[in-house]
Amino acid sequence: MNQRQHEVPAQDTGGGQGELICVITTLTDPHAAPAARLAQTYHQRWESEGANAELKTTLRGPGRVLRSHSPDMVRQEIYGCLLTHHALSALICGAATEADIDPDRVKFTRTVRIARRRVADPAAFSP
């Protein structure tokens, strides 16, 4: 099996130091798959994994199963979770933009806790 290995210095994330990313792949054509693009793709994959974890664990809670018993209601419950995740992500992006920071620096878990407190607070909603 042919392999190539490249070290790609990552972009500075604002902490003063870049991260060195080592890419090992079976892709042998550096023009078809440049190392910098592979490193970026790897980072994006983990962004997706993080979003899945936010949805499955943080938003619903660990070990919780869907309550619905019919396929239509399960679908509705999943859509509800997805919409809630989207709304919280939009809130995070808006707050980060206003504060002029990277949205990745705003913790999803903390945002969920704040939102739950506000929703549970009767004074937060007028009659």
Q: How far apart are CA 58 and CA 112, in angstroms?
A: 8
Q: How confident is the model at residue 21 (pLDDT cuts 50, 70, 90)?
A: low
pLDDT in tens, 53-97: 888 888 877 677 888 889 999 999 889 989 999 999 999 999 999
**Section 42-52 average pLDDT:** 80
Give phi and psi for 70, each to the nearest 5.
Answer: -105, 150
Q: Which residue has the higher pLDDT, 124 or 105?
A: 105
Pick the closest to residue 25 from 41, 44, 9 (CA basis): 41
CB 12 within 8 A of CB 18: yes
Question: Are residue 11 and residue 53 in the same domain, yes or no?
Answer: yes
Shared-domain flag, residues 40 and 80: no
63-73: string of b/e by CB count within 10 Å (b at 16+)? Answer: eeeeeeeeeee
- Decide which of 62, 80, 99 is a domain's last residue: 62
Domain hosting residue 8, numbered range? 1-62
Q: 62, 95, 110: which is the final residue of a domain?
A: 62
Do 60 and 31 meet the contact criterion of CB atoms below 8 Å apart? no
| Helices (H), ranges, the chain | 35-53, 71-99, 108-120
79 and 52 belong to one structural domain: no
Q: Are residues 56 and 84 in the same domain?
A: no
